[in-house]
Amino acid sequence: MPSKSRKVVLVDDNEVIRMALRAILRQAGFDVVGEARDGEGVADLVEKVRPDVVCLDVSMPGRSGLEVLGELRDRFPKVKVLMVTAHSDRETVSQVVQQGAAGMVLKPFNAARVIETMNRVLGLESPA
């Protein structure tokens, strides 16, 4: 039985957050195929490595995650985008949903919640 693809791109200006996400995802069998520290060039990276999911920080210098989310939804409608943020206020959540994100992970995050959210976004079965 072929397994579903689990390729992920991480976009966060905080290297510690990227390292933590990378470790959590790799441990759970996801393949981190690319990383970026800001919103510039993310669409080109996605075009090059063709991930299934992009984990995208909402607040970054330069282009915000919400700007990048809009571009990714337009150019790559099949790629799921999971927003990573410390902001759980109504306005942020509303913008994330309106822009078409597949889900959100709140910082500080725990490994189980990250994996559960990734599995749900990709339609994978969570271990019982």
Any idea what DSSP says for residue 43?
A: H
| pLDDT band (50, 70, 90) for residue 128 | very low
Choose between 127 and 52: higher pLDDT: 52
H or E element that contains 7: strand 7-11
The CATH number of the structural domain formed by 7-121 is: 3.40.50.2300
Q: Read off the pLDDT of each residue in 47-76 and give the average, rounded to a whole number.
A: 94
Is the pLDDT at 1 greater than 70, yes or no? no
Is the pLDDT at 85 greater than 80, yes or no? yes
Is the pLDDT at 7 greater than 50, yes or no? yes
Q: Which of 3, 1, 14, 4 is nearest to 55 (CA)?
A: 14
| pLDDT band (50, 70, 90) for residue 126 | low
Rounded Cα distance, 15 and 19, in Å? 6
Q: Read off the pLDDT of each residue in 102-115 and give the average, rounded to a whole number.
A: 91
Torsion of CA 63, 66, 70, 71, to 10 degrees: 30
Rounded Cα distance, 35 and 19, in Å? 10
Rounded Cα distance, 55 and 82, in Å? 5
CA within 13 Å, CB half, 66: 12
Whole-number average pLDDT of the chain: 91
